[in-house]
Structure 1
């Protein structure tokens, strides 16, 4: 519980972290988000004293923390993640008059390319298992893989799906839980509709409020369980790379390379704006470059004779 302070008496750094957590709870942020902030604060406490008066916090303290992270972490993306969490909290404190205002910025980073499954890996992962020989979990992993590749939904959204979220009449999936908290209506193609109809015959659900995907006991999947299920499924099929989110990147890549609309892709992925979707395209530039070489327009239409500038050759 937060201690009472006399007016003008500064809160400590530790108290401010707790104050921001309380603000997050009052705004009804997801439990996973709050857990992330708490974990990030543990890293901050390795450098900042929890008893440090927040009104003594200056831009120099921030800059020194940046240097500290760069000397202790090798991953620029991780460094920026910690910096963004600190910046978010400090802006909250500045806006509420707990400390002086100053400008902060994260470090510049090179965005890594999105990791996707190769065509050969997809052939192995999306091949239907022998229904008469495979386990329920292997079959379920195949269905999950097909759904992820067909829709590009996030892992958390997948785990929250219920049987009632499939509309077979209108061929769409009602994704109730999303990162932006805005429900998504995702159309399902004929292949996916057929797969889901068959899956529900083996799922043996008791009512439409049951989880669509579950463990062997019929309980809701956890993040850890779903990860390990896909990990073992992939390795059993000779695919050493893994990850449910990798399907999201793969879906986006193939959508673009097959001429799909960027606007439609943005809606299917549930992005709040086109800039986020554009990042996917920018990070898939190597795949696009291969296609550009295959479709060499100059080679098709231009004069193949050497074109020389008038004048003497240097």
Structure 2
């Protein structure tokens, strides 16, 4: 029986995760000089570029401040300079994000009827503001730091730290038509995330040279690792075989490239492309929630449930502090009961 060849790549929307060149501004000579939010952002970014900050992080800073700028434009049109920022204004921003902001507003096919962002999302934006306000104050552009007394939101929810159930994963894999290049590539991405727990931002930067086929390992070099520490992690034999198959298909479809994960145009894949496609898969599979990071949490949970130790897991996940690793492991009642039945020391004394 001959194997049916996989269909050629379906065209995906082309996108680049680039930070455009922006005009820099001259530093203020003293804090009496009024600085717009845009000028203040450039001062901050210019300093961080000099410190070696990655373009991805800089891109996120621009995005976070853009959302804050839109809030000011709608509700505080008279606030034009960072010297006008106050703790009360920022608290109003927090309440707006918590109660009024519509998730994915303006994004085609992703808008939702509910209002309010997740606590984790709000805190990410607040940390950006906190970092910038501290910089502006330390550099003398602000006489007082408006974020100094503003606290991050607290939450008792662990929803953002949960992984997939086995049933959800079967549904997600079930909607993938792997005769199509894009679906096959996405399946390999999902399986590699489940097999290694690596971050999606690390995954899209993997090159074929990072794979050691004989040793069955994947090296994440320092330049693409989140914490700028190189690490080598194991890869299952079947997953390694799929990675090599994907690379072979890349060579047959596209111009030569070292990157392993490509768009249907042959460009290097970006995280947002996979996030959007995963959202579509989840909707089709009737899975309530699906994000790339949930694969990482699923790996962490199941690694321990299958007998792995938490210290090895910490190394694989690249956590500097083991308390972070502990937070990743959220087990429901069924997991706890199954572990208790298997490992309770009392069972061996019962006849």
The match for 2:195 is 150
Shift of 1:124: 5.6
User: Which is bigger in relative contact order (C-alpha 8 A, separation at least 6)?
Assistant: 2
Structure 2 vs 1, CA of residues 144 and 150 (structure 1 numbering), >3 Å: closer, same or farther? same
1:117 aligns with 2:167: no
* Cα deviations by residue, 1:183-237 (Å, 9 ceiling, x for unpaired): 321112333233334444444369985221223443322334334555566677x
Aligned pairs (5 A) from 1:168-179: 168-176=213-221, 177-179=224-226
Cα gap change, 1:96 to 1:288, in 2 (>3 Å) = farther
Aligned mates of 1:81, 1:153 — CA distance in 2: 20
Unmatched segments (≥5 aa) in structure 2 = 1-23, 102-115
Deviations 1:63-122 (A, max 9, x none): 454455445342333332332222111111222233235443212222432342222343
Q: Distance in 1 between matches of 2:258 and 2:82?
A: 51
SS at match of 1:91: helix
Pair 93,269 (structure 1): closer, same or farther in 2 beyond 3 Å: same
Q: Which residue pairs with 2:270 in the alignment?
A: 222
Shift of 1:21: 2.5
Distance 1:166 1:53 in 2: 48
Which residue does 1:311 correspond to in 2? none
Is the 1:227–1:244 Cα contact (8 Å) retained in structure 2? Answer: yes
In 2: Cα distance, 1:66 partner to 1:124 partner: 36
Q: 1:208 to 1:97 in 2, by over 3 A?
A: same
Give the 3 Å change call, closer, same or farther, for CA 110–218 of structure 1 in structure 2.
same
Q: Which SS does the other structure have where 1:204 is aligned?
A: helix
Whether 2:81 is the aligned partner of 1:35: answer no
Aligned Cα RMSD in Å?
3.5
1:100 aligns with 2:144: yes
Contact 1:163 1:209 survives alignment (8 Å): no
1:271 to 319, 323, 326: 319
Residue 161 (1) aligns with residue 197 (2): no
Distance 1:195 1:184 in 2: 22
Which secondary structure does the structure 1 equivalent of 2:62 belong to?
helix
Query: TM-score, normalising length from structure 2?
Result: 0.70
Secondary structure in 1 aligned to 2:258? coil
Query: 1:103–1:256: structure 2 CA closer, same or farther, 3 Å change rule?
Result: same
Name the structure 2 match of 1:184.
231
Alignment partner of 1:11 is 2:34: yes
Q: Separation in 1 of the partners of 2:59 and 2:262? A: 24
1:2 counterpart residue number: 25
1:125–1:145 Cα contact (<8 Å) kept = no
Equivalences for residues 1-314 of structure 1 within 5 A: 1-3=24-26, 5-14=28-37, 15-45=39-69, 46-47=71-72, 49-52=78-81, 54=83, 57-73=85-101, 74-75=116-117, 76-98=119-141, 99-100=143-144, 102-113=148-159, 114-123=161-170, 134-176=179-221, 177-204=224-251, 209-230=257-278, 238=285, 240=287, 242-281=290-329, 283-286=330-333, 288-292=335-339, 294=341, 297=344, 300=347
Q: Is the 8 A contact 1:125 1:142 kept in 2?
A: no
Q: 1:89 to 1:224 in 2, by over 3 A?
A: closer
Query: Aligned in 2, Cα 1:170/1:60: closer, same or farther, shift over 3 Å?
Result: same
Distance in 2, Cα, partners of 1:53 & 1:246: 37
CA distance in 2 between counterparts of 1:69 and 1:216 reads 36
**Distance verdict in 2 for CA 1:24–1:234, change over 3 Å:** same
TM-score w.r.t. length of structure 1? 0.77
Would you say the 8 A contact 1:164–1:208 is kept in 2?
no
Which deviations, in whole Å up to 9, do the C-alpha atoms of 1:33-69 show, x marking residues without a partner?
2222222223333335553462x65545544544554
Q: Deviation of residue 271 (structure 1)? A: 1.9
